């Protein structure tokens, strides 16, 4: 047996190989290795999609609910508030339109590879059939704008407006919200829907600031420079040598169209992506017409039920996400029958899955050396699973060079080149597909300070330890709801499903207060303590798994797993979490809240 074949069939060897590859990538600086988009790097965060020079008069006003953010969190909160009959609210959004992630990310071939039929949260309400199973960014952006139009949210929203401060006024019983347009808005309730994935980060490469060519981050795509649009055809790159840094979910999607347009493309790889087939296809209109009312909720619950390990009678979505979970579930059943260790059996399924990905690479990439360099050596869920039908094919092109840094990253950037291992590659353009700040403090992600009772900021309150009720409400921060909290709350792989649930929950709490003449609610101390205890007791954080993963934002760059995105998430899974908050609502929320009546 050759070494390669033996490796794929020997769990001990694979385990050792995974650890060796992880070790190459561990950085003592952890998250601090990246550069934030401020000061001299602030241009990487500028909005390229709006005309410069927008001005408007500042306002001083009162509202019942102030919603921070016009992405799906904010839009779904607005939808839920309207359904509860609460119409006096205001949305503040720093971008020029609704959409959040899908406003910013317009890079070529940007798509969501969670199925469009469940990712688009209100398509059943609008009866809009997506064209494809995996929608383009523009189609998702269009859906967000349609929510804005249908719900008449444009008149209630201040765009191109950044919140600068949110402070609780205990005497008035109001939040005082300040913005960078000098607005002052007094709000009874505030909902934070500012999203976790919107602050771009740059790779901390020596000399990056010296580069004199053109450069931009993928979430601020410069079509003026590249030409073309989301379908590619970037004529501005015909005579350009381009380097793309990053091979994560974004890199994998924009690399193929970049390769087709650029004179030459250098792909800088630190950790190889693991990319399964996506099998995108047009929507069958007959199937669409056959859907019965309530289908969205059933389908979304079926998908995330699968991924939460809950047996489902059928697999409605049937794609790369669900099929691997079906295998995990089967392995769990087998382990019960055979009394084998469940984790070991699951690990074997994972080895097989990643072996299939490596075989997929061998079958597509013609040059065996390049194929070898593209192979990922880590577990499937160490990084976000990726699906694409043209990524590996790109490396068969003559105008593409893979710079495999084998976990190290580039050594240097100069005025006109990137440098690795003593070799310099001259480039005209650098594209940073280097991701977003995840896990930073609440004020950094939001871009403003949130001051509650006693003048305490949320960062100060959470210093050392997060304290919440259901991940959504925080003691000393009255009349406040956090949507997309994940920590102390839950997550679903189809994130809009969870956003819908949390938005409905927040709106129900506001409605309860309005109906019952409650002017101020705050979380009782014992309720917060009790939820913290529940989070700790129910924790399913697999520290060993996290620690052995290749570093990335999923495992906090290999540092303290508790700080990873899976740390302090409600361990009972999303469906149990949804039931907990629904039951809590039914039982009457005063039990856990200290309320002041009008």
Binding site for ligand NAP (CB under 6 A): 25, 111-113, 197, 203, 205, 245-251, 253, 268, 270-271, 384, 409-410, 433-436, 552-553
Both tokens of residue 584?
Answer: 């809590």
Closest approach, Cβ 254 to ligand NAP, in A, equals 9
Closest approach, Cβ 113 to ligand NAP, in A, equals 4
- CB closer to ligand NAP, 244 vs 450: 244
Looking up tokens 């950094």 gives 444
Task: Quote the DSSP letter at residue 282.
Answer: B
- CB closer to ligand NAP, 395 vs 553: 553
What is the C-alpha to C-alpha distance for residues 244 and 247, in angstroms, rounded to an integer? 8
- CB closer to ligand NAP, 215 vs 247: 247
What residues pair up with 222 in beta bridges, in sequence order? none
- CB closer to ligand NAP, 244 vs 482: 244
Closest approach, Cβ 114 to ligand NAP, in A, equals 6
Closest approach, Cβ 243 to ligand NAP, in A, equals 10
- CB closer to ligand NAP, 335 vs 563: 563
Query: In terms of Cα–Cα distance, which of 464, 42, 93 is closest to 216?
Result: 42
* Beta-carbon count within 10 A of 318 CB: 14
What is the C-alpha to C-alpha distance for residues 585 and 395, in angstroms, rounded to an integer? 54
Closest approach, Cβ 509 to ligand NAP, in A, equals 28
- CB closer to ligand NAP, 278 vs 500: 278
- CB closer to ligand NAP, 247 vs 568: 247
According to DSSP, the β-strands at 60-68 and 449-451 are: unpaired
What is the C-alpha to C-alpha distance for residues 267 and 35, in angstroms, rounded to an integer? 20
Closest approach, Cβ 368 to ligand NAP, in A, equals 23
Closest approach, Cβ 347 to ligand NAP, in A, equals 21
- CB closer to ligand NAP, 250 vs 457: 250
Closest approach, Cβ 110 to ligand NAP, in A, equals 7
Closest approach, Cβ 268 to ligand NAP, in A, equals 5
- CB closer to ligand NAP, 433 vs 451: 433
Query: In terms of Cα–Cα distance, which of 540, 219, 243 is closest to 409?
Result: 243
- CB closer to ligand NAP, 112 vs 527: 112
What is the C-alpha to C-alpha distance for residues 350 and 359, in angstroms, rounded to an integer? 14
Q: In what order do the strands lie in the sheet with 264-269?
A: 214-217, 429-432, 241-245, 264-269, 400-404
User: For residue 524, what are the contacts with CB-CB under 8 A and spacing of at least 6?
Assistant: 475, 592, 593, 594
Query: In terms of Cα–Cα distance, which of 283, 281, 277, 263 is closest to 390?
Result: 277
Closest approach, Cβ 506 to ligand NAP, in A, equals 23
Task: Quote the DSSP letter at residue 551.
Answer: P
Longest dimension (CA), the chain: 79
Closest approach, Cβ 422 to ligand NAP, in A, equals 17
Could you tell me if residue 422 is left (phi over 0), alpha (psi between -120 and 50 degrees) or otherwise beta? Answer: left
- CB closer to ligand NAP, 69 vs 435: 435
* Beta-carbon count within 10 A of 583 CB: 9
* Beta-carbon count within 10 A of 53 CB: 5
Report the C-alpha dihedral over residues 317, 319, 325, 329, rounded to 10 degrees.
70
Looking up tokens 């005063």 gives 590
- CB closer to ligand NAP, 247 vs 457: 247
Closest approach, Cβ 246 to ligand NAP, in A, equals 3
Nearest-10 crossing angle of helices 342-364, 11-25: 70
What is the C-alpha to C-alpha distance for residues 115 and 280, in angstroms, rounded to an integer? 9
Closest approach, Cβ 247 to ligand NAP, in A, equals 4
| Residue whose beta carbon is closest to ligand NAP | 248
Looking up tokens 């495992």 gives 555
- CB closer to ligand NAP, 99 vs 452: 99
Burial 181-220 (b: 16+ CB within 10 A, else e): bebebbbbbbbbbbbbbbbbbbbebeebeebebbbbbbbb
């Amino acid at each position: 047996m050759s070494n390669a074949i033996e490796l794929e069939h020997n769990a001990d060897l694979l385990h050792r190989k995974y650890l060796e590859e992880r070790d190459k990538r561990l950085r003592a600086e952890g998250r601090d290795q990246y550069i934030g988009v401020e000061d001299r790097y602030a241009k990487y965060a500028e909005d390229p999609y709006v005309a410069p020079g927008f001005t408007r008069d500042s306002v001083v006003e009162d509202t019942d609910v102030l919603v921070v953010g016009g992405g799906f969190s904010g839009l779904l909160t607005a939808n839920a508030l309207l359904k509860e009959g609460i119409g006096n609210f205001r949305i503040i959004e720093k971008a020029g339109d609704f959409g959040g992630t899908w406003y910013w990310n317009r890079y070529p071939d940007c798509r969501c590879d969670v199925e469009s039929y469940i990712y688009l949260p209100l398509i059943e309400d609008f009866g809009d059939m997506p064209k494809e199973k995996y929608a383009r960014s523009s189609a998702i952006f269009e859906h967000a704008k349609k929510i804005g139009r249908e719900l008449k949210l444009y008149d209630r929203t201040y765009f191109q407006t950044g919140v600068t401060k949110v402070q609780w006024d205990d005497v008035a019983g109001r939040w005082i919200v300040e913005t960078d347009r000098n607005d002052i808005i007094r709000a009874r309730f505030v909902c934070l829907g500012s999203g976790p994935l919107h602050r771009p980060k740059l790779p901390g490469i020596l000399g990056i600031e010296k580069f004199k060519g053109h450069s931009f981050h993928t979430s601020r795509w410069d079509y003026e420079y590249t030409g073309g649009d989301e379908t590619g055809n970037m004529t501005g790159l015909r005579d350009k040598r381009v380097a793309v840094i990053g091979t994560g979910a974004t890199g994998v999607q924009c690399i193929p169209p970049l390769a087709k347009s650029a004179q030459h493309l250098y792909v800088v790889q630190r950790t190889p992506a693991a990319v399964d087939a996506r099998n995108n296809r047009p929507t069958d209109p007959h199937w669409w017409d056959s859907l019965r009312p309530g289908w969205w909720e059933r389908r979304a619950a079926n998908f995330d039920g699968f991924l939460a390990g809950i047996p489902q009678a059928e697999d409605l979505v049937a794609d790369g996400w669900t099929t691997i979970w079906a295998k995990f579930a089967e392995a769990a059943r087998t382990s019960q029958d055979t009394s084998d260790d469940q984790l070991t059996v699951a690990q074997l399924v994972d080895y097989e899955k990643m072996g299939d990905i490596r075989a997929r690479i061998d079958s597509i990439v013609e040059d065996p050396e390049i194929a070898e360099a593209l192979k990922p050596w880590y577990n499937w869920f160490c990084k976000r699973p990726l699906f694409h039908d043209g990524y590996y094919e790109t490396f068969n092109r003559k105008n593409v060079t893979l710079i495999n840094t084998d976990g190290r990253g580039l050594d240097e950037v100069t005025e006109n080149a990137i440098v690795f291992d003593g070799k310099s590659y001259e480039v005209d353009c650098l594209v940073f597909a280097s991701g977003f700040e995840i896990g930073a403090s609440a004020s950094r992600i939001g871009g403003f300070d949130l001051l509650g009772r006693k003048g305490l900021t949320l960062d100060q309150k959470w210093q050392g330890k997060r304290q919440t009720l259901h991940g959504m409400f925080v003691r000393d921060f009255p009349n406040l709801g956090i949507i997309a909290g994940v920590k102390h709350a839950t997550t679903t792989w189809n994130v809009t499903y969870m956003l819908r649930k949390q938005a409905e929950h927040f709106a129900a709490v506001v409605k309860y207060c309005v109906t019952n003449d409650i002017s101020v609610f705050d979380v009782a101390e014992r309720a917060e303590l009790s939820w913290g205890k529940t989070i700790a007791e129910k924790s399913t954080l697999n520290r060993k798994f996290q620690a052995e993963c290749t570093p990335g934002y999923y495992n906090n760059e290999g540092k303290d797993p508790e700080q990873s995105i899976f740390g302090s998430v409600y361990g009972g899974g999303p469906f149990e979490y949804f039931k907990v908050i629904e039951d809590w609502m039914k039982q009457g929320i005063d039990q856990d809240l200290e309320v002041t009546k009008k």
